[in-house]
Amino acid sequence: MQRDLRAGIENMLIRCGGLRPGQSVLILTETEESGYYDPGLAGAVAEVADALGLVATIRREPFTSHAAPAAATLAEIGRADRTVFLSRLGDQLRFDTALAAAAPVMCYALDLGMMASGFGRAEHDAFLALLKCLNAALAAARDIHVTCPLGTDFAGPGAAFPETDAEVSVRRFPLSVFTPVPAGDYAGRIAQAGFLTGTGKTFYQPYNLPLDGVLTLDFDGNRITGFGGDPADAARAEAHYRQIGDMMGTEPFFVHSWHAGMHPGCGWPVQAGADIARWGGGAFGNPRILHFHTCGAYPPGEISVNVIDPTIRLDGVPVWQDGRLHPDRVPGGAEILARFPVAARLFAEPERAVGLAPSGRLRARPEPQPAAASSA
């Protein structure tokens, strides 16, 4: 097996999963026809688990649009020392407190290449430390101001994180976003091109809404107050929100929270429009992407609104600048980079591919690549 691939899987099983020789690991994956996870990934994880002295079991289950695990599956999760979800089911259940005791690992490295890249190999402990560091900086800030090149411009008085023991009931691997910032104290405008899409909680239809131009959403606290930008996009977006809200029995115009990517190794070289649902489940950890949870007064809501290349200023300091995260601009960040060399190299040379079309924007349908320049 390729050395980098093994290193990524060991990072997941040992540093994230906390597994030791002799313990059992349940690898719960989707059936191959779903096309979401690389069909070879489960076998590779099992191979490394065996080499580490773990007792590995692979269980394949068909993907369902609504999280509905079989009783036998839940029982098996309870018996295993650790479960690894190579399945969207883990993402669908990530806020389910029934999984808290088992603390399964939800894997966001969707294929062998992602697992073998810096995304999979960078020290998991580095991002645990960075999560605490960024959360502390966000909570301590008196003013947070977010902008982007398409017109995003919103602000609020710091991050009022809820006083709960844990944000989610799974261990995320790779760990690539900070705790969602509640939107209640924020106001301003969000700008997105390309499409609206779901949050991975429920795969309703239509899951995506294509956009022709730039859509803007004005919000004040927890409520969208207006849709703007391209008039046709605005009308379709409002209707889409109403449709999904009615379908899911939730408040359509509720704005729950937002957060940005913090893992510079998270790359997505394929245009998002080739498979928007897969892009939404795999690319969000890159610092070039910030997303809002909307359409529902619960995390993560039902509709994700994605901002590209955010600048996030904490009390005037651009900690994210044009989609690049600078950990050394918050207290404790430089020390983390000094302790973890693989992560530090990624921050020095971050992955910039996040699924944009050749035009430089997200698109609901792939754009043709420009013809190569003539050498005549």
Instruction: Using the predicted structure, report yes or no on whether residue 233 has a pLDDT greater than 70.
Output: yes
DSSP state of 164: -
What value does the mean pLDDT of the chain take?
94
pLDDT digits over 259-282, tens only?
999 999 999 999 999 999 999 999
CA-to-CA distance for 104 and 25, rounded, in angstroms? 10
pLDDT digits over 125-162, tens only?
999 999 999 999 999 999 999 999 999 999 999 999 98
CA-to-CA distance for 190 and 110, rounded, in angstroms? 28
For domain 3-121, the CATH superfamily is Response regulator (3.40.50.2300)
Domain ranges of the chain: 3-121, 141-160+170-348
pLDDT digits over 89-129, tens only?
888 887 777 777 788 999 999 999 999 999 999 999 999 99
With pLDDT > 70 as the criterion, what percentage of the chain qualifies? 97
| 3-state SS assignment for residue 273 | helix
- Cα angle: 326, vertex 331, 337; to 5 degrees: 50
CA dihedral 371, 273, 178, 338 (to 10 degrees): -30
What mean pLDDT comes out for the span 26-43? 92
* Confidence band of 376 (pLDDT split at 50, 70, 90): very low
* Tokens coding 10: 């060991």
What pLDDT was estimated at residue 106? 95
What pLDDT was estimated at residue 369? 83
Residue 304 · residue 293 · CB < 8 Å: yes
pTM over 0.85: yes
Cα within 13 Å of Cα(22), Cβ side: 0
* Confidence band of 6 (pLDDT split at 50, 70, 90): very high
